[in-house]
Each structure stands twice: as structure tokens, then as C-alpha cells.
Amino acid sequence: MTVLALTSTRGAPGVTATALTLALAWDRPVILVEADVSGSSSIKAGHFRGQATPSPNIMDLADAHHNHRSLGVEALRHASLPLPLEPSRRYVAGIARSDQLRALTPDFWDQLASVLANTAEQGYDVIVDAGRIRSINGPDRLLERADMVAVVMRNHLDHIVSAASNADYLRRGADAASNRVGAILLGQGPYPNKKITEATGLRIWSTLAWDPHTAGRLMGDADLPTFAKFERTGLYRSARSTVNELRNIDAERRSFLGTPQRTR
């Protein structure tokens, strides 16, 4: 796997918390890019407990692109921070204020997509928190060019209907057999995976445990746990299982496409 983008089709089902959880459970070097344009960075406000300075963030990358024409892997490294719970995981914070949206132009997103692909070639996997689809100045080009796109959703009827309504937009003409777009469910619910797939056309790639207590601690609702304690939670165990399932799906996808499997 190289670039995995997480998104949603309605509301706030937990894309950011899911992206953070997967980054912490990832089995290889990884960079988490917060490309959600809905407002100030919820990871900096929550996981960093509001202690991190406003910079660096994704605006440093926008500045490198617009003013210096130097947006590359090195700029990405300089704009990234270690995650407090597990410093070996890197993180690029999202915008700090809504007025910064104007700098997130289509050509910026397109260049960033190229940089993320190159970063993956150099040994880092990339997880993108793309927020809700169809957002103003949103990271559509990151979704279009990601190796895999996971729709984060609950096993609720309104989420299923929303995903079904937007499935064609998410695929952008891609062959469903290529398995580039799928879904990650948050918790169990009344509808079997087969029924959800029939309704939405999206294969259910994995189900993360519904653990609002642990997720809340990661996102600032209480003291940050130690990594050792986090590893003992059901959320972490389900995240590790999800990572393994995503690896298998990526291998299937690359076999279907006839492209080589990525290694470290």
C-alpha cells in the first residue's frame, strides 16, 4: 500500500479519529496528512492537547507550492510533527483557520498528491484524512489519485443511503473490480455487510471496534493513555486487524492491476 485516503459522505462519523487510530496502529513508517478543510485541526487541538504551536501545518506546504515552487518530499518532512503517543509516526496538521482555505487550490492538491506518491516510493506509507467529500476547496485530487479510498461510515441506514448516493462520485469511473474504493465500518449494526455492499456497491473492507472512550482519550476528552495501555484496548486490536486486512486488499488490487507490490 502507498497512499490510503479516508473520507465520509455525510456528517462526522469519525474520519479523523479513524485516521489517527490507524496511523498509531500502522505496521510500517507512516505519515498522517490532515487534509480535512472543515475547520481548525482537531488533532492538534485534541491529540496534542492544544499545546502545539499553529505551525508547522499544511499551510507551510501551500506556501512552498505557491511562493517558492519547492513543494517536495523535503518540504513534507519539514511540515510534519511526531505524534505524541508514538513519535515514530509523523503527522502534517490541517489548516488552523477557515480563511486559509483560499490557498488550498486544485493545483496545490494535485502537486501534493504527486509528493505523497513519491514519499510512498521512498518507504513511507501515507494516510490522508480527507474529511467529507465535496467540500469547498477540498482535497478532491488526493482522493482521485490515492491508491485506496476508504469511506468511513456507521452501520446506520442514513449512512448507508448517503454512501449509496455518492458511490459513483467516489469511484470516478474506476472499475469496481479494481477494489480501489471500499468502506470501513465503525462498530456493529443491524445490517449485514453483504446488504450494505448490495446497497452501496462498496465492499466492506473492515470493521473498527466502536470504542468512544478510547477514541475520546486519543482526541482530547481525557488524559492521553500510554502507548502500552492503548495497545491493550479493543480499538487498537481492531485497528491492527484493519491494517492487515487493508494489506491483503492492496495485494489483491495490485494483482488485479498487474502492478508490483510495494515493499519497505
Cβ proximity of 101 and 132 under 8 Å: no
Least confident of 39-43, 117-121, 147-151, 196-200: 39-43
Report how far residue 228's alpha carbon sits from residue 86's, in angstroms, rounded to the nearest whole number.
10
Per-residue DSSP letter, 84: S
pLDDT of residue 54: 65
User: What is the DSSP secondary-structure string of 105-128?
Assistant: -HHHHHHHHHHHHHHHHTT-EEEE
Report how far residue 163's alpha carbon sits from residue 186's, in angstroms, rounded to the nearest whole number.
14
The separation between CA 7 and the C-alpha centre of its own chain, rounded to angstroms, equals 7
Share of the chain above pLDDT 70, in %: 94
Q: How confident is the model at residue 76 (pLDDT cuts 50, 70, 90)?
A: very high
- Tell me the three cell numbers of residue 228: 502500552
pLDDT of residue 43: 87
Measured distance between the N- and C-terminal CA atoms of the chain, rounded to whole angstroms: 10
Q: How confident is the model at residue 173 (pLDDT cuts 50, 70, 90)?
A: low
Q: Which residues of 78-106 are buried (b: 16+ CB within 10 A; e: fewer)?
A: ebbbebbbeeebbbbbbbbeeebbebbee
- Other CB atoms within 10 A of residue 24 CB: 23
Report how far residue 256's alpha carbon sits from residue 262's, in angstroms, rounded to the nearest whole number.
14
Give strand pairing partners of 81: 91
- Could you give the angle at the alpha carbon of 108 between the alpha carbons of 77 and 27, nearest 5°? 40
Q: How confident is the model at residue 122 (pLDDT cuts 50, 70, 90)?
A: confident
Per-residue DSSP letter, 154: E
Side-chain half-sphere of 251: how many Cα atoms within 13 Å?
7
| Continuous segment of H or E residues that includes residue 82 | strand 81-82
Set out the domains of the chain in order of their start, with CATH numbers: 3-257 (3.40.50.300)
For 104, list phi and psi in degrees, rounded to 5. -90, 75
Average pLDDT over residues 252-259: 84
Of 30 and 176, more confident: 30
Torsion of CA 41, 47, 51, 54, to 10 degrees: -20
pLDDT > 60? residue 263: no
3-class SS of residue 35: coil
Report how far residue 213's alpha carbon sits from residue 63's, in angstroms, rounded to the nearest whole number.
37
